[in-house]
Structure 1
Amino acid sequence: MNIIALIAAAADNNALGKDNDLLWHLPDDFKRFKSLTSGHTIVMGRKTYESFPKPLPNRKHVIITRDKNYTVDYDVCVVVHSLEEALELVKDEDLSFIIGGGEIYKLAMEHANKIELTRVHGIFEDADTFFPEIPESQWELASEQYHPADEKHKYAFTYRTYLKI
């Protein structure tokens, strides 16, 4: 089975980021992201890709951009010009991840069959990018695990896994 999973960290008001950066620093969430996505293809928009200093190790990167002249000088990166093109590239993979940003999540929601969401407990009014609402009629919460705030994590958060009904 081909699993297309959205993976994101979003605040209680669905805020994802501002100025192409995250609004929080959650080391345990980074570790979970790395553990879940390593060895798989990650699909993202150009701005999300450009927020990384370099490609993430042990992952194939599919970058979606409208810019027909956009190129990337890394073997692990493929540039495509639509979500449909990206989905065609991963159709034979057991598991691939959509990692953002906001517009890509919105477009991919109907194609995904799993969501790995880290719900960051806070409201971030100044965000400029948001995760789409998860329609409860189409998704069921399969598991959740709470992580309290601590010395390394300014905000409490909950890992939530949703499966398409």
Structure 2
Amino acid sequence: MAKLPVVLVAAIADNGVIGSENRLIWRLKTDLRRFRALTMGCPIIMGRKTFLSIGKPLPGRQTVVLTRDPLFRAEGVHAASSLEGALEMAQELGAAMGARAVIVGGGSEIYALALPLVDRLELTFVHAAPEGDALFPSWGREAFRETARSDHPATAEDEYAFSFASFERRR
């Protein structure tokens, strides 16, 4: 079985904030559509707090929840107690569903654990500096090569201007 690439998807404010009190802190419909397009048909790894903030498995995806709670159970999701276990499970699920990638979807603790292992980053840089309690970890930009970028203005659907950027790990 060929290993699927591991892709981290995140939206990050100019000050590094990614959320507050387990919730999104901006309204960017264009980014939500991109997240859906990038993750549809793929297994997605997320932390327990991120999963609980969503409240249900994401349709069209297999959800793997990484948690330290050995009693965690939720209908329609898979649980793993280590990143290695979550990645192995997601690789198996991805192969079975014909996925193109394994997605790492947050939150900040999961991003920090996964960053050394990801093949690609799909980032949304939100041009704002909101207050928040969840930060994107330092990611060693020099280890990645930017392969695409598009800038978008604030609109009625998108509260802030933002940029989509794709990065591949340097080999």
Bin for the TM-score computed over the shorter chain? over 0.9
Following superposition, the deviation at residue 154 of structure 1 comes to 1.5
Identity %: 37
> Which of 90-99 and 104-113 deviates more?
90-99
2:20 alignment counterpart: 18
Structure 1 gaps, min length 5: none
- Which residue type is aligned with residue 42 of structure 2? H
Following superposition, the deviation at residue 54 of structure 1 comes to 1.9
Where 1:13 maps in the other structure, the secondary structure is coil
1:67 alignment counterpart: 69
- Which residue type is aligned with residue 101 of structure 1? G
TM-score under structure 1 length normalisation: 0.94
Where 1:79 maps in the other structure, the secondary structure is strand
Q: Deviation digits for residues 101-157 of structure 1, max 9, x if unmatched?
A: 000000000010100000000112x21111112312201111001110011211000
Where 1:149 maps in the other structure, the secondary structure is coil
Following superposition, the deviation at residue 73 of structure 1 comes to 1.7
Task: Give, in whole Å, the separation in 1 of the partners of 2:163 and 2:139.
Answer: 16
- Which residue type is aligned with residue 9 of structure 1? A
1:36 alignment counterpart: 38
Task: Give, in whole Å, the separation in 2 of the partners of 1:159 and 1:136.
Answer: 15
1:96 matched to 2:102? The reply is yes
Larger % of strand: which? Answer: 1
- Which residue type is aligned with residue 59 of structure 2? P
1:132 alignment counterpart: 137
1:118 alignment counterpart: 124
Where 2:122 maps in the other structure, the secondary structure is strand
Following superposition, the deviation at residue 87 of structure 1 comes to 1.0
Q: Deviation digits for residues 37-85 of structure 1, max 9, x if unmatched?
A: 00000000000000113211000000011011111122xx101111111
Question: Once superposed, what is the RMSD of the aligned Cα atoms?
Answer: 1.2
- Which residue type is aligned with residue 117 of structure 1? L
TM-score under structure 2 length normalisation: 0.91
Structure 2 gaps, min length 5: 95-99
